[in-house]
């Protein structure tokens, strides 16, 4: 019961703040609502007993990336930004993408109830003692099963980082 109520609180908060984030005219307000949406998602991770994912979401997205976002937003002159047209003219592309996405969601929801074992897998939440400790489990799969993918991703990030440094240096 408690799980369900908490889930609906977190999910509702995430959706509502995501909608508010898109519709605010003031960029800092948008950023605040994005933080709220990220925190609510972190709460859902915590409910799924993925503590490590929860804290990584908070440290990286909320504590790191969003601070940089706000840092940049504050340097932009907001009064000028308010005068400009906020939305790029991509109505038709956006419409098609949104339709495709909702069709996918609809198909999944529609097919989920049909045959047991197919569609959306419904998992019963295992108790905390049954699961291995979450950070250990994440480490096992990152550095064991998916080691190659992990290394490729980290090399890619390193290249991007060096590229950013080089580009910043050239402009000076």
Partner 1 sequence: MQAVIQATMEFLKLYWAPLLCGLVIVAVLPLVVGYIVLVERKLMADMQARLGPMRVGPHGLLQPIADAVKLLIKEDIIPDNADKLVFWLAPVLSVGAALLSIAGLAIGPAFQIAKDINIGILFVVGVSAMGIFGIVLGGWASNSHYSLMGSLRSSAQLVSYETAAGMALVSGLLLTGTLNIKAIVEAQSKEGIWFVMLAPVAFFIYLVASIAETNRAPFDLPEAESELVAGYMTEFSGFRWSLYFLAEYTNMIVVSSVATTLFLGGWLRPFADVHLFNFLDYVPPLLMIGVAGYCLSRTPKQPSGVQQIFMLAVASLCFVVALVLVAPVVLPIAKPFYAGIHGGFWFIFKVSAYIYFFMWLRFTIPRYRFDQLMRLGWQFLIPLSIVNVLVVGVALIVSSYFNLHGWAMLLVTTPAAIIALVVALMILAAGQESQAGKENAAASDFYAG
Task: Note the residues at the interface with partner 1 (CB under 8 A).
Answer: 1-2, 4-6, 26, 28-29, 32, 35, 51-52, 54-55, 58-59, 62-64, 66-68, 70-71, 74-75, 133-135
Give the count of alpha carbons within 13 A of 51, CB side only.
8
For the CB of residue 110, give the shortest distance to partner 1 in the complex, in Å: 27
Nearest to 6 by CA among 34, 44, 39: 44
For the CB of residue 152, give the shortest distance to partner 1 in the complex, in Å: 21
How far from chain centre, in Å, is Cα 155? 22
Q: Name which of 18 and 51 has its Cβ closer to partner 1.
A: 51
For the CB of residue 135, give the shortest distance to partner 1 in the complex, in Å: 6
Q: Name which of 4 and 169 has its Cβ closer to partner 1.
A: 4
Nearest to 122 by CA among 131, 112, 130: 112
Q: CB of 170 within 8 A of CB of 88?
A: no
């Amino acid at each position: 019961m408690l799980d369900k109520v908490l889930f609906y609180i977190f999910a509702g908060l995430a959706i509502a703040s995501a909608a508010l984030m898109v519709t605010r005219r003031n960029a800092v307000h948008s950023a605040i609502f994005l933080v709220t949406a990220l925190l609510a998602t972190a709460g859902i991770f915590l409910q799924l007993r993925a503590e490590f994912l929860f804290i990584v979401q908070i440290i990286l997205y909320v504590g790191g990336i969003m601070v940089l976002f706000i840092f940049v937003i504050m340097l932009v002159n907001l009064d000028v930004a308010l005068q400009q047209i906020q939305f790029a003219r991509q109505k038709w592309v956006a419409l098609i993408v949104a339709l495709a996405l909702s069709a996918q969601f609809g198909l999944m929801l529609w097919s989920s109830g049909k045959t047991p074992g197919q569609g959306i897998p419904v998992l019963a939440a295992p108790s905390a003692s049954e699961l291995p400790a979450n950070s250990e489990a994440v480490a096992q799969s990152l550095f064991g099963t998916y080691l190659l993918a992990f290394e490729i991703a980290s090399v890619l990030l390193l290249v991007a980082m060096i590229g950013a440094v080089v580009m910043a240096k050239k402009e000076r």
